[in-house]
Amino acid sequence: MVDLRSVMEKTLAQASPHSREVYGQNPLTAKEVLELANTHVLILGATVKPEGKPHLSPIDLVAVDDSIYLGVDRATARYKNLKHNPAITIMIADGWKRQVIFQGVAHFLDSKSAEATKAFEAEKEKYGWTTDIIAEFVPEKVFTWKGKDSDQ
Q: Whole-angstrom distance between the N-terminal and C-terminal Cα of the chain?
A: 25
On the question of pLDDT at 1 being above 70, the answer is no
Q: How far apart, in whole angstroms, are the C-alpha atoms of residue 140 and residue 56?
A: 19
Q: Name the domain count of the chain.
A: 1
The rounded distance, in Å, linking the Cα atoms of 111 and 117 is 7
Taking each helix axis from N to C terminus, what angle separates 4-14 and 30-37, rounded to the nearest 10 degrees? 110
- Distance between CA atoms of 63 and 69, rounded to whole angstroms? 6
72 inside domain: yes
Entry field: residues in the chain = 152
Domain that holds residue 128: 4-146
Per-residue pLDDT for 151 more than 60?
no
126 inside domain: yes
Long-range Cβ contacts of 39-43 (<8 Å, 24+ apart): 39/94, 40/126, 41/92, 41/93, 41/94, 41/95, 41/98, 42/91, 42/92, 42/93, 42/94, 43/90, 43/91, 43/92, 43/93
Q: Which tens digit of pLDDT belongs to each residue from 62-99?
A: 999 999 999 999 999 999 999 999 999 999 999 989 99
pTM of the model: 0.93
Residue 65 lies in a domain: yes
How does the average pLDDT of the chain come out, rounded?
95
Mean pLDDT score, 53-57 = 97
Residue 152 lies in a domain: no
Q: What is the CATH number of the domain that holds 74?
A: 2.30.110.10
Q: How far, in Å, CA of 27 to CA of 6, rounded?
A: 13
Distance separating alpha carbons of residues 137 and 134, to the nearest angstrom:
9
φ/ψ (deg, to 5) at 13: -65, -35
Please write the tens of the pLDDT for every residue from 98-144: 999 999 999 999 999 999 999 999 999 999 999 999 999 999 999 99
In a domain, 151, yes or no: no
DSSP 130: -
**Structure-model confidence comparison of residues 1 and 79, the more confident one:** 79
pLDDT over 60 at 59, yes or no: yes
